């Protein structure tokens, strides 16, 4: 019996949607045997680790990379269009089960999940509570501001209807 080790900061977001920090080869058995992933949404600009590339090829897992820099002061902003594009991949049930991750599973992942929660009509208080649970003592006010100001109206209603029809 192989020990199954989830990635750092792993959690279920919703049925078929998971979040974590950067997975490594120790996490591959868990990802294969428990999650049975179809898709990974990778939010960092750096090239994907070779062991993960090989794992994904072997298991027919699609990787969508959205090269988002960390939202650190003073001049780095998360591009709203990248989050919107990542949401389209995330919301398409044909991509489920899907794992969202960045390096630590805190900030960029927290922003994407926070924007998903806005689409799900969560209150900002609940969204920020969830964000803080994963960010710990590394909460970034700019991330929370990004989530608050994210315009869900720019996530195409037509696209969302198309996704709903594919259920």
Catalytic sites, residue numbers: 102
Helices (H), 13-156: 28-30, 50-58, 80-91, 107-119, 124-135, 141-149
Q: Residue 155: count other Cβ atoms within 10 Å of its Cβ.
A: 18
Q: Residue 164: count other Cβ atoms within 10 Å of its Cβ.
A: 10
Inter-residue contact 3 to 20 (CB < 8 Å): no
| Nearest-angstrom CA–CA distance, 41 and 63 | 6
Indicate the SS3 state at residue 65.
Answer: strand
């Amino acid at each position: 019996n192989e020990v199954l080790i989830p990635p750092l900061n792993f959690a279920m977001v919703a049925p078929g949607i998971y979040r974590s920090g950067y997975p490594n080869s120790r996490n591959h058995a868990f990802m294969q045997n428990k999650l049975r992933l179809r898709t990974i949404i990778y939010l960092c600009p750096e090239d994907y680790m070779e062991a993960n590339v090989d794992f994904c090829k072997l298991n027919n897992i699609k990787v969508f990379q959205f090269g988002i820099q960390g939202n650190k002061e003073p001049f780095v902003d998360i591009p709203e269009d990248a989050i919107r594009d990542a949401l389209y991949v995330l919301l398409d049930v044909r991509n489920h089960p899907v794992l969202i991750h960045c390096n630590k599973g805190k900030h960029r992942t927290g922003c994407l999940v926070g924007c998903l929660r806005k689409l799900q009509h969560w209150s900002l208080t609940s969204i920020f509570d969830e964000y803080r649970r994963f960010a710990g003592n590394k909460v970034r006010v700019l991330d929370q501001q990004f989530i608050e100001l994210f315009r869900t109206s720019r996530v195409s209603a037509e696209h969302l209807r198309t996704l709903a029809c594919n259920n």
